[in-house]
Structure 1
Amino acid sequence: MTMLTSAAGTSAVLPPEYGELVTKPVEALSVAYLTGTKVTTGANSYHIPILSSDVAVGAVVEGAEITPSDAAFNELVVTPAKFAGLTIVSRELADDSNPSAADQIGRSIARQIANSVDNALFNALAAPNPAGFASLTGISTVSAPTAYTDLDPFEEAVSLSEAAGGRVTAWVTGAATALEIAQLKDATGSNKGLLNPDLTAEGRRTILGRPVIISPYVPADVVYGISKDDFLVVTREDARIDVDRSAYFSSDRIGVRGTMRVGFAMPVAAAHVRITNAA
């Protein structure tokens, strides 16, 4: 598939410094960046210290010696994986100058990268994909009934997260599951929905005051409660754009490649919750 001037308008092809045309759309499109905390590293791996035990503190008699103690730390090491997208454009498009098509090329690559990042986040994919919530050991779990009748599973999820020191800031699920929950009524025979839309956010659905975010990559009948402060999206610098005019020489086309290196870190696994519907 090739982007042409007739389909995309006119534009100069993205030079390497146009990385933000990919970076910003990825962050806007990817559920990982919407629900997590972005950290940027220039190193091959990102090291996160985890406090495993605190300094011992207790009451002492006035003037008595204070017994020293040490805090114990573990370390979580995250090595961002490379996500890449390739778009092929005609030379005519590359040689024109209207910036609108540059945005289209950037967003085209960004969609590929964002989709790949979110697929890895919610499914246990083989290496070199980074490990996400689907393979997270120690995540809190809630079993919902075959059909949702109330919001008790979500109340339990919030409680489990808080018990682990977390704070659920968003729910992520598939469109079908979100619709099932949105159709809950406040009483038998009532037409009033149990969920009230957040009128300050363009009618966005919320559950217990937390926004509901839709991702096609969350398995059916699963809802994730994510604690933003306990979910780090480790980004190895930002997007890089590479342009090659030789690979498609015979058809007078140009390859535009975008890459980002992204990894996930959940230092406190139990701060996040997976709600599974028995269906």
Structure 2
Amino acid sequence: MRRIQEMNIQELRVQHRAKLKEARGLYRKITDDTPEKEARKIERDFYATLSEADDIHDQIEEAKEARSDDGDHRRPRGDDKTVDGSGNEGDARDAAFGLKPEDRVTTWAQAKQPDKHNLTLGQYLGAMVRGAKSEAEKRALAEGTDSAGGYTVPTMLSAQLIDLLRASSVAITAGARTVPLGSDNNNIAKLASDPVPAWRVENAVVAESDPTFTNVPLVPRSLAVLTKVSRELFQDTLNLDTELPRILATALAKELDRVALLGSGTAPEPEGIANMTGIGTTAHDAALTTYAPFVAARTGILSANAGPISAIIMHPRDEGTLTGLTDSTGQPLMAPKAVADIPLLTTTAIPADGGAGSDESTIFLGNFAHLMVGIRSEIRVEVLKERYADNYQYGLLAHMRADIAAQHEAAFHTITGVQG
């Protein structure tokens, strides 16, 4: 018989259940008619069995902590658990499909690798430029230094920047899920065709109908941003520790929004919704005068069984046009309730100078829970001190890797040729 120390987690769990069952059986043996001497013996055996069950439980907990490579690499925590934005635990099989907008990458990263330095991202970036002043800053910089002379921001601090980026991203606000990527090649299963049920008579053979699955690849691609800061500003500004992360996050988020919506798909740029095969499209080719294009787009998504629609995304110019629409009496034109209930978001990442008249834009509707934003958790930052020394400036170069994919293209609809 194998010793408990030699068993794996599954075997330990079987043994734990068996010991608890044995203890319950012993407990039931004691009745009003059981002789006192025999009852005491059963009681001793009962507590001894419970003690063995506790020992096995301790072994299970130790094995969980030691385990490093069990389970899906996309799962945020080793034991089929994840944590939401409030710290509540859940099933990691859901997290494998991405973090929802209200979840935090910081919480996910904390579960994987607790923060040892107790630094904010702004303090870390400041230490990179001016030099470390505290022991915590020295340890963090020493850990993050790479062979190329830059800094790979520690996981927890990278997560802070990613959360700032996500908070600034319109696509994620619309409902897109963030998928932490653990490698350079990742795949998410997508249902290409549904199984078809069929009616049958008694004793007849059940008709077979297999679902068809395809892979949705998420291959992280390089995205970088360069920000210049004067040395005087760095020395004199009191809130630069908070402003630097915000500036970097906002710049990265705007570009991530652009490719999520309009990415060409030509390397190295990910493919965005507008260029995906299978989305719905309404060619408007005129100025907005009614809500009819939105009704048509909504109907298209619902007809594909891809609802509910989580958001409408447009350029601020078009939002202004909608707000200014009036009826024949000069009163504000009210949207149909089915359209008015959909959150309306704006971003300047959508250009408004396309088309023959250089005044056309695109509006996006969709169930954005079907949009996946894959992000590697490591962000690399370089301080360029010499390149801009003539202007007495520092350069901050931030680099991350991300990709975009859709699980169900029919969940999205574009209204094209919207003129201003």
TM beyond 0.5? yes
RMSD: 3.3
- Deviation, structure 1 residue 91: 7.0
Q: Give the match for residue 325 of structure 2.
A: 184
1:13 to 113, 118, 127: 127
1:84, 1:113 within 8 Å by CA — same for their partners in 2?
yes
Contact 1:46-1:234 within 8 A present in 2 as well: no
TM-score normalized by the length of structure 2 = 0.54
CA contact (8 A) 2:374 2:403 kept: yes
The CA distance in 1 between the partners of 2:333 and 2:221, in whole Å, is 42
Q: Secondary structure at the match of 2:287?
A: coil
1:60-101 deviations in Å (ceiling 9; x for gaps): 333444354432212121212121223355678878997x32
Greater RCO, CA 8 A, separation 6+: 1
* Cα pair distance change 1:254/1:184, threshold 3 Å: closer
**Any conservation in 2 of the 1:243–1:254 contact (CA below 8 Å)?**
no
Aligned runs of 1:1-279 on 2, under 5 Å?
12-13=126-127, 16-17=153-154, 18-35=157-174, 36-88=176-228, 100-125=239-264, 126-144=266-284, 146-167=286-307, 168-185=309-326, 187-195=327-335, 207-220=339-352, 221-237=361-377, 240-244=379-383, 255-277=395-417, 279=419
Q: For this pair of structures, how many residues does the alignment match?
A: 259
Structure 2 residue runs of 5 or longer lacking an equivalent are 1-121, 129-140, 142-152, 353-360
Mean Cα deviation higher: 145-154 or 228-237: 145-154
* Equivalent position SS for 1:12: helix
CA shift, 1:170, in A, is: 0.8
More helix by share: 2
Q: After TM superposition, give the deviation of residue 132 of structure 1 in Å.
A: 0.5
Query: Which blocks of at least 5 consecutive residues in structure 1 are unaligned?
Result: 1-7, 197-205
TM-score (norm 1): 0.78
Q: Is residue 218–residue 405 contact of structure 2 (8 Å, CA) maintained in 1?
A: yes
Amino acid aligned to 2:218: V
- Kept in 1: contact 2:189–2:213 (CA 8 A): yes
Secondary structure, counterpart of 1:184 in structure 2: coil
Identical amino acids, percent of aligned pairs: 23
Offset of 1:260 from its aligned partner?
Answer: 2.2
Greater CA deviation, 140-149 or 222-231? 140-149
Letter of the structure 2 residue corresponding to residue 184 of structure 1: L
